[in-house]
Amino acid sequence: MALLEVKDLRTYFHTDDGVVKAVDGVEFSVEKGKTLGIVGESGSGKSVTNLTIMGLNPRRNTVTSGQALWKGQDLLTMKPAQLRDIRGSEISMIFQDPMTSLNPVHTIGKQLVEAILIHRDVSKRVARARALDLLKAVGIPRAETRIDDYPHQFSGGMRQRVMIAMALINDPDLLIADEPTTALDVTTQAQILSLMKRLQDDFGSAIIMVTHDLGVIAEIADDVVVMYAAEIVEHADVYDLFNRPQHPYTWGLMGSLPRLDADVERLTQIPGQPPSMLRPPSGCRFHPRCPYVMEICKTKNPELLPTQRDPGHLQACHLDEDTKDREAAKLKATMAEAT
Amino acid sequence: MFRYLVRRLLWAILLFIVITFVTFVIFFMAPNNPARGYCGGDNAKPQCLALATKKLGLDKPVPVQYLKFLKRLVVDRSLGQSYFTGQDVNQAIAQAAPVTASLVFGGAILWMLIGLVVGVFSALKPRSLLDRIAMVFVLIGVSAHPVWIGLIFSYFFGFKLGITPIANYANFFGAPADSGLPGGPWQWFYHMILPWCTFAILFAALYVRMIRANVMETMNEDYVRTARAKGAPENRVLTRHVLRNALLPVVTMLGMDIGLALGGAIFTETVYQLPGLGRTSILAISNNDLAVVQGVIVFSTLCIIFFNLVVDLLYAWIDPRIRLT
């Protein structure tokens, strides 16, 4: 049984302007100890998907349907107290902005200890010792003294390490990382990623890595979900995704990866803007921006189906498979040429 | 820290000089003659006027009078005598200040209680019935004048229903034995109920609105989401993570408001005939009694400076990001 199984997840926000379909029929599962990458542009619904699983969306004006089965139990229909017991102990979460994710008026030690004491019946001394161990594990220098410092006394990268320590402090089975490296500079990003990989080996947690950065995906993910406009457009094994991407949106994402050595004047980009989820486009939601658009795309939204070659590789596009393979090969060739 | 205190003290002295000097200038720019009040008003005899002018030092130029005032204050630590009654100003303020302090501190406790309870609850349940009722209360509180509220209160609760006194003050430590006035802690409390309510309404309304806005804003902070993601129960999220951050600006406001209000809760004191600083200064102004006016202003300035300092120190203590340098 998968650790987490998300089925037909939908999250709609009722606003004054109408219903925003932030997540619209998302399905995936996470296996024990594996890493699932969720990639997509801002506003594609990747963060809301995870907040919904964690029950952290604002309750007002939010309608959720579908299932999120955690070890067989549905997180979405669970009693709040039961969900709280899982949050922070079995499933924990790291957020995008480490500068604002820690409470400025408490020392980091106090915040780490709190995470333990909420779930475990141990003494403060024991909890503090555990907190110190974790701070050392995530590579905070002079952890013995720094444990009594306040968040503002740490740099962004160090704060994200503290957040990771806090997330791992109760040995969770699943760690949801919502763009954990986006707000950090490039060298720090690399450090945080390798830290997460190392800790995954040590702690054996599964990870959901939400990002808009395919580089991060290539680095850490086993499985990849590509989201566009609240839906999954492609879902594949990480090697398959990079070797044989099957969706024009995925091609667009890969084409817009910057390369130092490529002889191009400008970065390729996907034309247009992500659609407003108040009024999503008819048919395939990507069709207004898709260079391969056909008549059928404007009226019929393609289903997420396995490719003929590989039943584990899901994609939602009307293009025939030969064309897609050809385009994928072309993309791969240009990328190989560049590297 | 030490340097900070020294700097604050120097600023306070400068502020003090500016404020007292401005009061002096304004007082002498107004077309009146303090000596006339000293001699019994419009029918004053010329001999008396001449004598009073000399006695009060009014024949000297204004800057000289100001310097004499400063010298007396610094050297003798005296605010002088009232131009009107001849009473010692230090003593007048010492009598009036406890009355105002009773009003202001009691009122502050009341408005903070109302502000916290109503503000937090309406922030937790925005657009609920409680929230809407609270917002109506806020609207009334900020619009209604304390004099009007005071008159309504003392008419209904004091006169019609007779459950509170209509007006007047009762000394906390007991009235003089031969005066026949009520005194003692219970009488003091009993007499202060209406003034407290009247005084607190305006501030309670402002604080409800401010606390509601701050709490709602803080609820959306990332670290509150972090606390929930840790699995913290809602009441813990509220007390440990939301309130402390949301109340930081409230502490500042409270310090400033108390400092300001100590200078004289003029309207409330007038309505309930409380012999506090506000009423003292109103009387002094209508009597052209510069010595007393100046005395009240000196005292209020000191209060404001003191409470601002307390707030700054408190702030540095509760918000670790602030360092006093």
- The pLDDT tens digits for A265-312 are 566 778 888 888 888 899 999 999 998 999 999 999 999 999 988 899
Q: Is the dihedral of CA B35, B36, B37, B39 positive or negative?
A: positive
Identify all chain B residues contacting A86, using CB atoms and an 8 Å cutoff: 231
Query: Does residue B149 sit in the same domain as residue B109?
Result: yes
Query: Does residue B223 sit in the same domain as residue B306?
Result: yes
The per-residue pLDDT for A339 is: 57
pLDDT tens profile B87-102: 888 898 998 889 998 9
Q: Give the mean pLDDT of B256-268.
A: 77
The identity of residue B18, as a single letter, is: V
Angstrom distance (rounded) from CA B207 to CA B116 = 8
Task: Pick B231's closest partner by Cβ from A85, A104, A105.
Answer: A85
The per-residue pLDDT for A235 is: 96
- CATH classification of the domain holding B196: 1.10.3720.10
Identify all chain B residues contacting A115, using CB atoms and an 8 Å cutoff: 230-231
Angstrom distance (rounded) from CA A249 to CA A242 = 13
pLDDT tens profile A11-50: 999 988 899 999 999 999 999 999 999 998 888 999 999 9
Q: Is residue B261 part of a domain?
A: yes
Beta strand A35-39 with A223-228: parallel, antiparallel or unpaired? parallel
Contact between A234 and A38 under an 8 Å Cβ cutoff? The reply is no
The per-residue pLDDT for A76 is: 93
Question: How is residue B190 written in tokens?
Answer: 């009993």
Angstrom distance (rounded) from CA B167 to CA B181 = 13
Q: Give the mean pLDDT of A51-78.
A: 91
Reported for B159-168, long-range contacts at CB under 8 A and 24+ positions apart, including other chains, are: B164/B190, B164/B193, B164/B194, B165/B190, B165/B191, B165/B194, B167/B271, B167/B272, B167/B273, B167/B274, B168/B272, B168/B273, B168/B274
B225:A95 CB<8 A: yes
The residues with which A44 forms a beta bridge, in sequence order, are: none
pLDDT tens profile B15-34: 888 888 888 888 777 767 77
The per-residue pLDDT for A264 is: 59
The per-residue pLDDT for A152 is: 92
How much is the mean pLDDT over chain A?
A: 90
Query: Does residue B108 sit in the same domain as residue B66?
Result: no
Identify all chain B residues contacting A150, using CB atoms and an 8 Å cutoff: 320-321
The per-residue pLDDT for B285 is: 84
Q: Is the dihedral of CA A247, A248, A249, A255 positive or negative?
A: positive
Identify all chain A residues contacting B249, using CB atoms and an 8 Å cutoff: none
Contact between A90 and A174 under an 8 Å Cβ cutoff? The reply is yes
**Residue B7 pLDDT level (bands cut at 50, 70, 90):** confident
Q: Is residue B89 part of a domain?
A: no
Q: Is the confidence at residue B75, as pLDDT, over 90?
A: no
Angstrom distance (rounded) from CA B204 to CA B114 = 6
Q: Give the mean pLDDT of B168-186.
A: 76
Identify all chain B residues contacting A97, using CB atoms and an 8 Å cutoff: 222
Q: Give the mean pLDDT of B215-234.
A: 93
Q: Give the minimum alpha-carbon distance from A297 to chain B in angstroms, rounded to a whole number.
A: 39
Query: Does residue B111 sit in the same domain as residue B34?
Result: no
Other CB atoms within a 10 A radius of the CB of residue B88 amount to: 16
Angstrom distance (rounded) from CA B19 to CA B15 = 6
Q: Give the mean pLDDT of B47-58.
A: 78
Q: Is residue B11 part of a domain?
A: no
The residues with which A94 forms a beta bridge, in sequence order, are: A177
Q: Is the confidence at residue B183, as pLDDT, over 80?
A: no
Question: How is residue A327 written in tokens?
Answer: 């385009």
Nearest alpha carbon to residue A256 among A244, A246, A266, A245? A266
- Burial class (CB within 10 angstroms; exposed 0-12, middle 13-18, buried 19+) of B236: middle
B229:A87 CB<8 A: yes
Query: Does residue B64 sit in the same domain as residue B146?
Result: no
Task: Pick A152's closest partner by Cβ from B231, B248, B321.
Answer: B321
Task: Pick B222's closest partner by Cβ from A86, A87, A101.
Answer: A101
Q: Is residue B96 part of a domain?
A: no
Structural domain range at position B237:
101-318
Question: How is residue B161 written in tokens?
Answer: 């229903």
Best residue of A48, A54, A94, A103 to probe chain B, by most B CBs closer than 10 Å? A103
Q: Is the confidence at residue A185, as pLDDT, over 90?
A: no
Percent of chain B with pLDDT over 70: 94
A118 touches chain B (CB under 8 A): yes
Query: Does residue B289 sit in the same domain as residue B215?
Result: yes
**Residue B61 pLDDT level (bands cut at 50, 70, 90):** confident
Angstrom distance (rounded) from CA A158 to CA A138 = 9
Looking at chain B, which residue has its C-alpha nearest residue A101? Answer: B223
How much is the mean pLDDT over chain B?
A: 85
Q: Give the minimum alpha-carbon distance from B56 to chain A in angstroms, rounded to a whole number.
A: 56
Q: Is residue B107 part of a domain?
A: yes
A86 touches chain B (CB under 8 A): yes
Q: Which residues of A163-195 are buried (b: 16+ CB within 10 A; e: fewer)?
A: bbbbbbbbebbbbbbbbbbbbbeeebbebbbeb
Pick the CATH number of A4-225 from 3.40.50.10490, 3.40.50.620, 1.10.3470.10, 3.40.50.300: 3.40.50.300
CB interface of B with A, residues 216-235, below 8 Å: 221-223, 225-233
Best residue of B128, B218, B226, B323 to probe chain A, by most A CBs closer than 10 Å? B226
Question: How is residue B240 written in tokens?
Answer: 């440990």
Per-domain residue ranges of chain A: 4-225, 245-338
Q: Is the confidence at residue B295, as pLDDT, over 70?
A: yes
Query: Does residue B159 sit in the same domain as residue B259?
Result: yes
Q: Give the mean pLDDT of B211-225.
A: 93
- For residue B238, CA distances in Å to B104, B228, B232, B245 come to 29, 10, 10, 10
Query: Does residue B234 sit in the same domain as residue B197?
Result: yes
Query: Does residue B260 sit in the same domain as residue B129?
Result: yes
The per-residue pLDDT for B249 is: 87
Q: Is residue B69 part of a domain?
A: yes
Strand A314-315: give its sheet, edge to edge.
A91-94, A174-178, A206-211, A35-39, A223-228, A231-237, A314-315, A305-306
Q: Give the minimum alpha-carbon distance from B234 to chain A in angstroms, rounded to a whole number.
A: 10
Identify all chain B residues contacting A163, using CB atoms and an 8 Å cutoff: 226
Query: Does residue B175 sit in the same domain as residue B297?
Result: yes
DSSP H stretches of helix in B159-246: 185-219, 222-229, 234-236, 244-246
A115 touches chain B (CB under 8 A): yes
Number of domain units in chain B: 2
Cβ–Cβ pairs < 8 A, chains A and B? 73
The per-residue pLDDT for B263 is: 63
Angstrom distance (rounded) from CA A251 to CA A289 = 12
Q: Is the confidence at residue A322, as pLDDT, over 70?
A: yes
Element containing residue A128 per DSSP (H, E): helix A124-137
Q: Give the mean pLDDT of B295-304.
A: 85
**Residue B82 pLDDT level (bands cut at 50, 70, 90):** confident
Best residue of B219, B224, B230 to probe chain A, by most A CBs closer than 10 Å? B230
A84:B241 CB<8 A: no
Residue A149: φ, ψ to 5°: -90, 160
Identify all chain A residues contacting B229, using CB atoms and an 8 Å cutoff: 54, 56, 87-88, 92-93, 95
Question: How is residue B267 written in tokens?
Answer: 């309207």
The per-residue pLDDT for B4 is: 81
Q: Give the mean pLDDT of B176-187.
A: 75
A104:B320 CB<8 A: yes
Angstrom distance (rounded) from CA A320 to CA A306 = 13
Task: Pick A56's closest partner by Cβ from B229, B236, B245.
Answer: B229
Query: Does residue B207 sit in the same domain as residue B72?
Result: no
The per-residue pLDDT for B324 is: 67
Q: Give the minimum alpha-carbon distance from B6 to chain A in angstroms, rounded to a whole number.
A: 27
Q: Is the confidence at residue A7, as pLDDT, over 90?
A: yes
Q: Give the minimum alpha-carbon distance from B238 to chain A in angstroms, rounded to a whole number.
A: 12
More confident of the two residues A261 and B105:
B105
Question: How is residue A63 written in tokens?
Answer: 């309608």
Best residue of A52, A83, A114 to probe chain B, by most B CBs closer than 10 Å? A114
pTM of the model: 0.82
> Residue A46: CA atoms inside 13 Å, Cβ hemisphere, count?
27
Q: Is residue B133 part of a domain?
A: yes
Query: Does residue B42 sit in the same domain as residue B181?
Result: no
Q: Is residue B88 part of a domain?
A: no
- Residue count of chain B, please give it: 325
Angstrom distance (rounded) from CA A291 to CA B108 = 67
